[in-house]
Amino acid sequence: MYFKDIIGQEETKRRLIQSAQQGIVPHAQLFCEPEGAGAFPLALAYARYLNCAHPSETDACGKCPSCLKYDALMHPDLYFVFPIVANKEKKKEICDDYLSEWRNFLNDRPYFNLNTWLNYLGAENKQAIIYAKESDEIIRKLSLKAYEANYRVLMVWLPEKMNETCANKLLKMIEEPPAHTLFLLISNNPDLIIGTIQSRSQRINIRAIAIDAIIRTLMSKFGLSPDDAKNVGHIANGNFIKAMEVISLSEENKLYLELFKGMMRNSWSKNVKGMKETAELFVSLGRERQKDFLSFVQRMIRENFIYHFQEPDLNYMNHDEASFSTKFSPFVNERNVYDLMAELEKADVQITQNVNPKMIFFDLSLKITVLLKR
Ligand SMILES: [Zn+2]
């Protein structure tokens, strides 16, 4: 992570760079952000910059030995502390036991929150904390001699998740810091951190990302059209994790639209083989997404019915959906719309009742065949 990879936050970047250039580097700094603003990547870019052998006016060099080790997140003087779900059986009880997962996780996605981390570990809905045991590790590491860096860095992501014993020991370390050691704490909820750590750290408040910066990134790095980027940018409202979620939702939408088109074409042309194949696809979605897809189809049926009336204010379809409707909407009319909706409703109930999804889908396709001909 370099400063150039940070989305927006120009003012904070300038301040951090200035602090490094002037050598005014408080030994404990608390980065506070509303989720998705990029505090963690900022702190990491800052740590890299401080240790770079040939920094430019705006960023680390990317070539010196320190930068190369930061690239791999394997600098011997860079430590990470983060919430985990301890697993005694698997002997995973401290952050270092999760270090390879953590590095892969950071490599894949510089912007993340606790949910994305827990999903990555397959530990959704579990309590993740920084355990008391971690403090012994921190003390052990910081009692070692620094290897080579200008600044040895301990990054603590979400100190608010720290067990109290651990927090108190960290506080001691902050009060009597070993030489050349920098504590960078990154918090979404600083009020939950013990007051003494808060008061002994230099606080850096990071604001939500400027919407324009998010829009530019969505266009340049993710290939979104200006209109789509604007929509997603406004929904995300300064939270880049949210922007990523919206993009992946619209990917899901594309899949549903393709499935819907296939389903309607098969039904209209009485293509039984096609119906069976589409039923297989439907099964592969899994239960929750099968239900999502059925709601999507209900929405499409409603939108296609309304499409006749040529009242754009009442229609809520994106470009791709609307272009299918120019051909499909004549087949949804007052003679079949209620029965179509009723059949979709019934299929949804059956999914909830654990009826075989392949049978539900196939049966539904046959009924739609009859209804579309009315
Ligand atoms: Zn460098």
Residues 224-237: pLDDT tens digits?
Answer: 888 888 888 988 99
Reported as a single tens digit per residue, the pLDDT across 265-324 is 999 999 999 999 999 999 999 988 999 999 999 999 998 999 888 776 666 777 778 889
CA atoms of 151 and 183, how far apart (whole Å)? 10
Query: Distance from the CA of 62 to the center of ligand 1, in angstroms?
Result: 5
C-beta of residue 341 within 8 angstroms of C-beta of residue 303: no
Query: Distance from the CA of 341 to the center of ligand 1, in angstroms?
Result: 62
Query: Distance from the CA of 70 to the center of ligand 1, in angstroms?
Result: 9
User: pTM of the full predicted structure?
Assistant: 0.74
Specify the 3-state DSSP secondary structure of 68.
helix
- 37-45-127 Cα angle (round to 5): 55
CA atoms of 245 and 212, how far apart (whole Å)? 18
The mean pLDDT values, 10 residues at a time, for the chain of 374 residues are 96 96 95 97 97 96 97 95 93 95 92 93 88 94 83 97 94 93 97 96 97 95 86 90 86 89 95 94 91 94 88 71 88 95 97 94 96 93
Reported as a single tens digit per residue, the pLDDT across 257-269 is 999 999 999 999 9
Query: Distance from the CA of 60 to the center of ligand 1, in angstroms?
Result: 5
Q: Closest Cα partner for 265 from 357, 331, 348, 359?
A: 331
Query: Distance from the CA of 256 to the center of ligand 1, in angstroms?
Result: 46
Query: Distance from the CA of 201 to the center of ligand 1, in angstroms?
Result: 27
What tokens appear for 220 in the block?
Answer: 């340049």
166-to-128, 134, 173, 192 alpha-carbon distances in Å: 14, 7, 11, 14
CA atoms of 32 and 38, how far apart (whole Å)? 10
Query: Distance from the CA of 188 to the center of ligand 1, in angstroms?
Result: 29
Query: Distance from the CA of 42 to the center of ligand 1, in angstroms?
Result: 16
Please report the pLDDT score of residue 312 as a whole number.
Answer: 65
Reported as a single tens digit per residue, the pLDDT across 234-246 is 889 999 999 998 8
For ligand 1, a single-atom ion, which residues have Cβ within 5 Å? 52, 60-61, 64, 67
Query: Distance from the CA of 51 to the center of ligand 1, in angstroms?
Result: 7
Reported as a single tens digit per residue, the pLDDT across 198-209 is 999 999 999 999
Query: Distance from the CA of 50 to the center of ligand 1, in angstroms?
Result: 9
Reported as a single tens digit per residue, the pLDDT across 312-329 is 666 677 777 888 988 999
C-beta of residue 179 within 8 angstroms of C-beta of residue 149: no
Q: What is the mean pLDDT of the chain?
A: 93
Query: Distance from the CA of 48 to the center of ligand 1, in angstroms?
Result: 8
Query: Distance from the CA of 373 to the center of ligand 1, in angstroms?
Result: 69
Query: Distance from the CA of 49 to the center of ligand 1, in angstroms?
Result: 7
Query: Distance from the CA of 57 to the center of ligand 1, in angstroms?
Result: 12
- Sheet with 78-81, side-by-side order of all strands: 78-81, 152-157, 181-187, 28-32, 202-205
Residue found by looking up tokens 């950071």 in the block: 106
Query: Distance from the CA of 69 to the center of ligand 1, in angstroms?
Result: 9
Query: Distance from the CA of 61 to the center of ligand 1, in angstroms?
Result: 4
CA atoms of 360 and 68, how far apart (whole Å)? 55
